[in-house]
């Protein structure tokens, strides 16, 4: 009987605990899906997609701001992501990010450009983002 009661209490606690999640910067589902589709279309291997998402959302943070993007892993199968975020309004920031693998040249980087606006607590959406490959005319990082 005591085992049964303990299981109910523990089960109730676990149900409530799973509903809690830390507040971390993230994209809306639509923006995230469009970004991942663009990365795939630009021929960036799927293993690199999460690195791009982490680098950009980490740089966007919790409010519109200006700063650098710098994401590097020690593993050769994961890319580096560098770039710049520029605050363009109270709720929006412009992103320019370059992604490449350690054995590749930066001139063949996958570029993500777009304006991202806060639509909720640490939740970013973009109505226009461009993802592709091109030689950066001016690298600002």
Q: Mean pLDDT, the chain, as a whole number?
A: 85
Segment 27-49 shows an average pLDDT of 96
Cβ–Cβ contacts within 10 Å for residue 40, how many? 13
Burial 108-135 (b: 16+ CB within 10 A, else e): ebbbbbbbbbbeeeebbbbeebebeeee
pLDDT one-digit tens code per residue, 96-124: 999 999 888 888 899 999 999 999 999 99
Q: What is the pTM of this model?
A: 0.80
pLDDT greater than 90 at residue 19: no
For the ranges 48-62, 98-112, 126-140, the one whose mean pLDDT is highest: 48-62
| Per-residue confidence (pLDDT) for residue 137, from 0 to 100 | 58
Q: pLDDT band at 20, cuts 50/70/90?
A: low
Cβ-Cβ contacts under 8 Å for 55 (sequence gap 6 or more): 69, 70, 71, 81, 83, 97, 99
């Amino acid at each position: 009987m005591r085992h049964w009661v303990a299981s109910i209490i523990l089960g109730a606690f676990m149900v409530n605990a799973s509903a809690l999640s830390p507040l971390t910067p993230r994209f809306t589902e639509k923006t995230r899906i469009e970004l991942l589709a663009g990365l795939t279309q630009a021929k960036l291997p799927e293993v690199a997609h999460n690195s791009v998402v982490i680098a950009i959302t980490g740089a966007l943070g919790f409010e519109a701001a200006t700063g650098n993007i710098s994401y590097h892993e020690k593993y050769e199968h994961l890319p580096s992501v560098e770039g710049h975020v520029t605050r363009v309004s109270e709720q929006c920031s412009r992103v320019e990010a370059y992604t490449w693998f350690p054995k590749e040249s930066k001139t063949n980087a996958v570029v993500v450009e777009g304006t991202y606006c806060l639509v909720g607590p640490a939740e970013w959406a973009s109505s226009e983002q461009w993802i592709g490959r091109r030689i950066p005319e001016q690298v600002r990082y």
